Amino acid sequence: MELLLQVPKGKVTTYHALAVALGDEVAARAVGQIMAQNDQPERYPCYKVVHSNGEVGAYSAPGGAAAKVAKLQAEGIPVRDGRIVDLHKYLFTDFETSQPLRQLRQLQEELSAAISLQPLSKGPKTIAGVDVAYSYSRSRGRGEREQAVAAYALLDLKGEPIARETITQEVTFPYIPTYLAFRELPLLLELLEKVRAAGKLADVVMVDGNGILHPRHAGIASHLGVLLGLSTIGITKSLLCGRVDLEGLRVREVRYVLLGGERIGAAVRLSERAQPIFISPGSGIDLEGAIELTLALPGSHRLPEPIRRAHETCSATVQAQARAEKEGKGRQMQMELDL
């Protein structure tokens, strides 16, 4: 938000330009979400941020898009049919910035060098899944804080549940593709340290996120594995990077994901009706071991049972919290009426 203060009067910038100033153009969508949640529009002039094609776009402050257009025109910026005329004449991109996302990429590259892709030294007896769910939707009101629930589900290799644990924490880092670790690591590190202290840490932990199937070989499963010294496997429902042919993929067939000629993951289908998932080692296990263990688990759903159980626990906790908050607000309103 501080970057907005650098945009001079009579100038605008774009979501893409702000993302580049932050250090990576992939953050453009996150920039848009941050602008939409700006609860101090008088301090941080988000009306100065427009689309790269000149479209003025939405405005979350009172008055909406019409107010945004009026503010721009008041600074001498011509707007016609919702689009800035001759955007290049009014575009500001010369930000003074430390490019924080570039620094985070460097951290990922350093972490990737510490990843171990050696096979497991012995067969695991327990396996767990971790997942994160968010308490508020993207359309949450301005000024509200985003919270997340992280869940841990511990199972034996027959798929029988042994234990589960959750924590709730405020989230301050936005979702940016390839930077998921910096959004969810604080929750998952605290959760797994809590589980470890209780003596319930699994031999292998499956993570709802990528391992080395990542442009810098440093997905969130790899972060957790390296930082906590765990054997971790990344599981996702969408392909972040690399190439794989999914045409005609049969149940339990393995097709490798390639990036620069290297096998960084695999696509598999766990049941006849399921779409593919993408498996990659995080750390403390090799690719073949990650695939073998995933296929050895019982279950007939799209996701492996540990991840599915963790996801169910997350969702149930978020729903319970929402009900409790709604009931609490209802009681508060009733008390005010009684007064």
Active centre residues (catalytic): 46
Of the candidates 139, 150, 146, the one whose C-alpha atom is nearest the C-alpha of residue 205 is: 150
Q: Give the CA distances from residue 5 to residues 16, 17, 19, 31, 44, in Å, rounded to whole numbers and listed in that order.
A: 17, 14, 15, 15, 7
Angle, nearest 10°, between helix axes 220-228 and 100-112? 60
Distance CA 82, CA 149 (A): 40
Q: How far apart are CA 337 and CA 339, in angstroms?
A: 5
Whether residue 127 contacts residue 111, with contact meaning beta carbons closer than 8 Å, is answered with no
What letter represents residue 231's amino acid? S
* CB-neighbour burial class of residue 86 (10 A; exposed 0-12, middle 13-18, buried 19+): exposed
| CA–CA gap between residue 145 and residue 311 (Å, rounded) | 22
Number of CB atoms found within 10 A of residue 264's CB:
25
